[in-house]
């Protein structure tokens, strides 16, 4: 187990390294932070000054070395727009994003697990079709639109919750649902499918033939076998949240997270800060995948030692 | 699809169709008869065709106004049924432009970006998958690792960094969506090649001296087609959603062109006195994506049925 | 059709009548089991033999009122000591307790994530009602009965940690846990080594004698039938085509399909177990002829075989056959 874990961690670190290097290629080879930060009509003299100020006049190899050695100690460069270390700015915003993802994950799991079980229990009956209907609708609607609909109904019309910002637990509810509904729709279908498929497997047929009821067989025989898939899928949903949903939803709800910071950084032509935000989010994705693998091994000891 | 079911019936439908002789049944006619029984398939195809027609010939339809025509006196006219008139059936936006006309205009962008991105991803991804599966060895390892890294670096992040570096544009959005979905095709393509590679007929044609690239195209591609179509439809839904998200963030189409995501971005400041802008634009996205999703659900269930029947008929002992 | 099993000394336990199981496919409903009729008496070992696709396994589960969806039981009745097993309330009582099933592949038929002990425990606790230390005691007893050494150690093992023969013994132990009156064994020796096959069959034979259980042995292997059963029914395309006491089946088979089966048994070893040697394609369930299902492969077939399937008729004491060429013409089914 320990050797497997060590190997898995090294592989994850390698992925982070490759991803960040790719980001460096985009931000320093194809273009550079100085060019991006200046308007097109800036004079050549102006550009040279900016390059020197940002250290971009040095050879690429030196810049890359700086970038990599900075990464190792958590230095992601200086934000041109805010005049502060980029890593500090991103890390300040990180708790808000994590809170949002936690809320969305809670919504996802609390909706998906019961809906998936209902659909599997009443397979091909009304409840199953209803859950399928919910899933199709929720994965077809853009999350940011769901966000605005929730705002229109619950904040504007009913006035139950504040519209924007992050003031306490209440304001977390709408954005969590805006993100979580689509994830719940996908996960509910996966849960249903998992239970239904497990129930057809020979070991479940054996249990049923011994006179155990369907509910007993589902709960005591199939759950553990479904759990590993459920954890994996939840992990995938988490990565979707980190890399897509939160960015858009933070904009909709004016949520002070990493995604919105990145969008503001783009608007202010601050390539270094965008790069820092992207590196941090990509690292979160890799860490999530790692945690999912560990959880799966704990649930099912037969998982390959890949 | 449940496990063993307790429900019984007593000979009620013994009269139902007995095995009909399958004389030269083609996949296509199977597909058609399967469609007749599937409400999801029918509604999916219906929605998708309306969307495709509107996107291609929409601007030339009669009674459709100019989507860019501003008219400040008419700004924020509500839709019919909420105090509006048939002059603007779905109301107008903050600049008095006709919402219906702008929705129809936006359909083109969604279709264009979605199809282009999936097309690029499918061609690129499948080619890489075929190469990885067929050649194997180091090239296989390289391509599969690249797919793994891509999984850890999803499209929106790539989108953020590319837009920051090069500025917003429709082409950039197409490229970003394509690079966030190519590896799906690579995995499926590679998997199918590996299965087929071991099967006898490929070995046989290798023995007879056919060049390897010809073997690949002749034998493997036809087998890929059905999986690829299903996958393309699935990815198209994701691509249309991504396009709307990028447009909403202001990364894609720039004003005065319109796109559904952009309409939501521009309408969001008017959700109190002009809720219809955001609502109808989002509804348009949702309905089209739903249509594509229904189509994909149906295609998948068709493949499932084919598989399930084989399982029943081939299981030893009945 | 008659329901006598021709043996006055035995009590009639299981009566299956006209049981039909259908599977919807794109080409219509395929009948996995088609108008099946059989009876099992007490202390009896009945064999059902047929090739792949003959509906044997579907039949085993259907007797317990279970069908893998999308299949459905479309008609007929299953009675256990006179009670309707297709009634879910009766089924819940009978399953496991009165009729227990042994499945083909114990590797996948035992729960992969539960130990042997916990699978026995849940049966003894929930289906028998034992409590506390009696559970452990009975578990050890059961493993001992099926010939598993180091029983207390094996209780902690998972299925994947056991050998194939050992797994099948565990499967048998779980079947015996509730002291059933009838055991349905669905290909219990398929996939095992020949020597292990023998051990398992001997074990089942001895247990059925000791415990006074009846056994319904479902198999494709005539050798198993010859070694194990008192009586045998031959199944083809979901229907019973012949029914006879074991000796008469081997000395004097009547149905052309039974004849073919007997000729296809290899003399010396039978390690692959496949039945070969009958001309024509094996079953394609979607292409049933309207008449006798065996007609396309039968060398005695005539035009009269093509219209309606032949009924299973009595031709002698304890002998039944479904073939127009063997039964007196014009006789109505009983």
Q: How far is CA A18 from the centre of its chain?
A: 19
Tell me the two tokens of residue B152.
């850890």
Search chain A and give the residue with CA nearest C123: A210
Neighbours of chain B (3+ CB pairs under 8 A): A, C
Which of A43-47, A231-235, B65-69 holds the top average pLDDT? A231-235
How close does chain B come to C96, measured CA to CA in Å?
15
Residues of chain A with CATH 1.10.3720.10: 88-299
Search chain B and give the residue with CA nearest C221: B317
Q: Which residues of A touch C66 (CB under 8 A)?
A: 205, 208-209
Tell me the two tokens of residue A112.
């998906």
A129 in contact with C at a CB cutoff of 8 Å? Answer: no
Looking at this predicted complex, what is its ipTM? 0.89
Beta-carbon count within 10 A of C52 CB: 16
Question: Which residues make Cβ contacts (< 8 Å) with residue B67, sequence separation at least 6?
Answer: B59, B97, B98, B101, B102, B104, B105, B258
Strand bridging mode C214-219 / C182-186: parallel
Residue A155: the pLDDT is: 84
Q: Which residues of chain C have pLDDT under 50?
A: 1-8, 267-276, 330-334
The reply to whether residue A247 touches residue B160, judged by beta carbons under 8 angstroms, is yes
How close does chain B come to C111, measured CA to CA in Å?
15
| pTM for this entry | 0.80
- Mean pLDDT for A85-108 is 94
Q: Angle of helix B155-166 relative to helix A258-267, nearest 10 degrees?
A: 20
Residue B40: the pLDDT is: 81
Those of residues 38-97 in B touching chain A at CB distance below 8 A are: none
C108 in contact with A at a CB cutoff of 8 Å? Answer: yes
Q: Give percent above pLDDT 90 in chain A.
A: 41
B179, burial (CB in 10 Å: exposed 0-12, middle 13-18, buried 19+): buried
Q: Which helix (H) or strand (E) covers residue C40, if one does?
A: strand C28-41
Confidence of residue A201 (pLDDT cuts 50, 70, 90): confident
Best of C108, C113, C157, C171 to substitute, by most chain A Cβ atoms within 10 angstroms, is C113
Q: Which residues of A touch C64 (CB under 8 A)?
A: 209
Residue B248: the pLDDT is: 93
A224 in contact with C at a CB cutoff of 8 Å? Answer: yes
The reply to whether residue B9 touches residue C20, judged by beta carbons under 8 angstroms, is no
The reply to whether residue A142 touches residue B248, judged by beta carbons under 8 angstroms, is yes
Best of A149, A191, A215, A243 to substitute, by most chain B Cβ atoms within 10 angstroms, is A243
For A116-143, the pLDDT digits (tens) are: 999 999 888 899 999 999 999 999 999 9
The reply to whether residue A277 touches residue B160, judged by beta carbons under 8 angstroms, is yes
Q: Which helix (H) or strand (E) covers residue C241, if one does?
A: strand C239-245
Q: Are A4 and A305 in contact (CB under 8 A)?
A: yes
B297 in contact with A at a CB cutoff of 8 Å? Answer: yes
Q: Which helix (H) or strand (E) covers residue B159, if one does?
A: helix B155-166
Phi (first) and psi of residue C214, to 5 degrees: -90, 155
Q: Which residues of A touch C24 (CB under 8 A)?
A: none
Average pLDDT, chain A: 87
Nearest to C95 among A211, A216, A221 (CB): A211
Average pLDDT, chain B: 78
DSSP type of residue B66: P
Q: Which residues on adjacent β-strands are paired with residue C106?
A: none
Tell me the two tokens of residue C299.
């060398």
Does domain A88-299 fall under CATH 1.10.3720.10? My reply is: yes
Phi (first) and psi of residue A219, to 5 degrees: -70, -45
C190 in contact with A at a CB cutoff of 8 Å? Answer: no
Residue C333: the pLDDT is: 46
């Amino acid at each position: 187990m320990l050797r497997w874990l060590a190997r898995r961690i090294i592989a994850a670190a390698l992925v982070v390294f490759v991803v960040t290097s790719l980001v460096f290629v985009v931000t320093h080879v194809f273009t550079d932070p100085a060019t991006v930060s200046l308007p097109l009509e800036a004079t050549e003299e102006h550009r040279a000054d900016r390059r020197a100020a940002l250290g971009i006049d040095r050879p690429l190899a030196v810049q890359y070395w700086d970038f990599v050695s900075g990464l190792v100690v958590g230095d992601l460069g200086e934000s041109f727009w805010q005049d502060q270390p980029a890593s500090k700015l991103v890390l300040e915003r990180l708790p808000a994003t994590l809170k949002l993802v936690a809320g969305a994950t809670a919504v996802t799991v609390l909706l998906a697990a019961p809906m998936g079980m209902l659909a599997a229990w009443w397979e091909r009956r009304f409840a199953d079709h209803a859950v399928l209907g919910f899933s199709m609708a929720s994965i077809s609607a853009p999350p940011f639109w769901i966000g605005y609909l929730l705002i229109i109904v619950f904040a504007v019309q009913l006035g139950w919750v504040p519209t924007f910002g992050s003031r306490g637990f209440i304001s977390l509810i709408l954005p969590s649902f805006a993100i979580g509904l689509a994830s719940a729709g996908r996960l509910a279908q996966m849960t249903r499918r998992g239970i239904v498929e497990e129930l057809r497997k020979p070991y479940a047929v054996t249990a049923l033939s011994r006179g155990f009821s369907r509910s007993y067989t589902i709960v005591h025989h199939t759950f553990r076998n479904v759990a590993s898939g459920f954890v994996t899928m939840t992990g995938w949903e988490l990565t979707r949240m980190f890399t897509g949903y939160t960015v858009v939803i933070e904009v909709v709800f004016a949520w002070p997270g990493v995604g919105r910071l990145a969008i503001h950084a783009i608007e202010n032509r601050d390539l270094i800060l965008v790069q820092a935000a992207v590196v941090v989010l990509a690292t979160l994705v890799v860490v999530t995948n790692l945690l999912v693998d560990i959880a799966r091994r704990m649930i099912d000891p037969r998982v390959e030692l890949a | 699809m449940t496990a063993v079911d307790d429900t019984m019936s007593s000979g009620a439908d013994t009269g139902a169709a007995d095995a009909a002789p399958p004389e030269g049944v083609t996949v296509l006619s199977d597909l058609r008869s399967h469609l007749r029984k599937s409400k999801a398939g029918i509604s999916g195809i219906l929605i998708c065709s309306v969307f495709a027609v509107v996107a291609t010939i929409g601007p030339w339809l009669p009674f459709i106004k100019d989507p860019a025509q501003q008219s400040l006196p008419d700004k924020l006219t509500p839709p019919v049924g909420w105090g509006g008139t048939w002059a603007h059936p779905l109301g107008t936006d903050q600049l008095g432009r006709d919402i219906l006309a702008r929705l129809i205009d936006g359909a083109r962008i969604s279709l264009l970006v979605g199809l282009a991105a999936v097309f690029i991803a499918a061609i690129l991804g499948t080619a890489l998958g075929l190469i990885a599966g067929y050649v194997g060895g180091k090239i296989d390892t390289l391509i599969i690792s690249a797919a793994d890294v891509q999984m850890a670096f999803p499209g929106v992040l790539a989108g953020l960094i590319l837009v920051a570096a090069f500025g917003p544009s429709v082409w950039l959005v197409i490229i970003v969506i394509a690079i966030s979905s190519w590896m799906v095709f690579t995995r499926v393509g590679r998997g199918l090649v590996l299965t087929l590679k071991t099967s006898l007929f490929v070995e046989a044609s290798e023995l007879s001296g056919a060049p390897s690239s010809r073997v690949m195209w002749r034998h493997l591609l036809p087998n890929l087609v059905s999986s690829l179509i299903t996958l393309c439809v699935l990815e198209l839904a994701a691509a249309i959603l991504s396009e709307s998200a990028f447009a909403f963030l202001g990364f894609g189409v720039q004003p005065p062109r319109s796109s559904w995501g952009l309409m939501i971005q521009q309408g969001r400041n008017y959700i109190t006195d002009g809720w219809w802008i955001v609502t109808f634009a989002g509804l348009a996205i949702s309905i089209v994506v739903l249509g594509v999703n229904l189509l994909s659900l149906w295609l998948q269930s068709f493949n499932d049925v084919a598989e399930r029947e084989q399982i029943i008929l081939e299981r030893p002992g009945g | 059709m008659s329901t006598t099993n021709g043996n006055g000394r035995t009590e009639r336990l299981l009566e299956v009548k006209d049981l039909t199981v259908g599977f919807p496919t794109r080409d219509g409903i395929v009948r996995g089991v088609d108008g099946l009729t059989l009876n099992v008496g007490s202390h009896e070992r009945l064999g059902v033999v047929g090739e792949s696709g003959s509906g044997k396994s579907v039949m085993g589960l259907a007797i317990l009122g279970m069908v893998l969806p999308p299949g459905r039981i479309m008609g007929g009745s299953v009675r256990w000591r006179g009670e309707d097993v297709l009634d879910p309330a009766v089924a819940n009582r009978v399953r496991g307790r009165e009729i227990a099933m042994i499945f083909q592949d114990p590797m996948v038929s035992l729960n992969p994530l539960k130990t042997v002990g916990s699978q026995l425990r849940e049966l003894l606790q929930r289906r028998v009602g034992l409590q506390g230390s009696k559970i452990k005691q009975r578990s050890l007893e059961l493993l001992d009965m099926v010939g598993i050494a180091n029983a207390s150690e094996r209780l902690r093992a998972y299925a994947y940690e056991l050998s194939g023969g050992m797994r099948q013994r565990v499967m048998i132990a779980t079947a015996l846990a509730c002291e059933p009156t009838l055991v349905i064994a669905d290909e219990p020796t398929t996939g095992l080594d020949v020597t292990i096959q023998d051990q398992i069959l001997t074990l089942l034979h001895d247990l059925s004698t000791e415990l006074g259980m009846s056994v319904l042995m479902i198999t494709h292997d005539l050798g198993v039938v010859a070694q194990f059963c008192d009586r045998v029914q031959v199944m083809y395309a979901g229907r019973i085509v012949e029914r006879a006491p074991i000796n008469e089946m081997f000395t004097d088979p009547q149905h052309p399909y039974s004849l073919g089966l007997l000729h296809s048994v290899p003399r010396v070893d039978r390690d692959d177990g496949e039945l070969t040697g009958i001309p024509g394609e094996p079953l394609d369930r979607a292409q049933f002829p309207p008449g006798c299902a065996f007609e396309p492969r039968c060398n005695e077939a005539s035009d009269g075989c093509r219209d309606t399937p032949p009924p299973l008729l009595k031709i002698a004491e304890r002998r039944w056959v479904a073939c127009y060429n063997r039964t007196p013409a014009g006789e109505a089914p009983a």
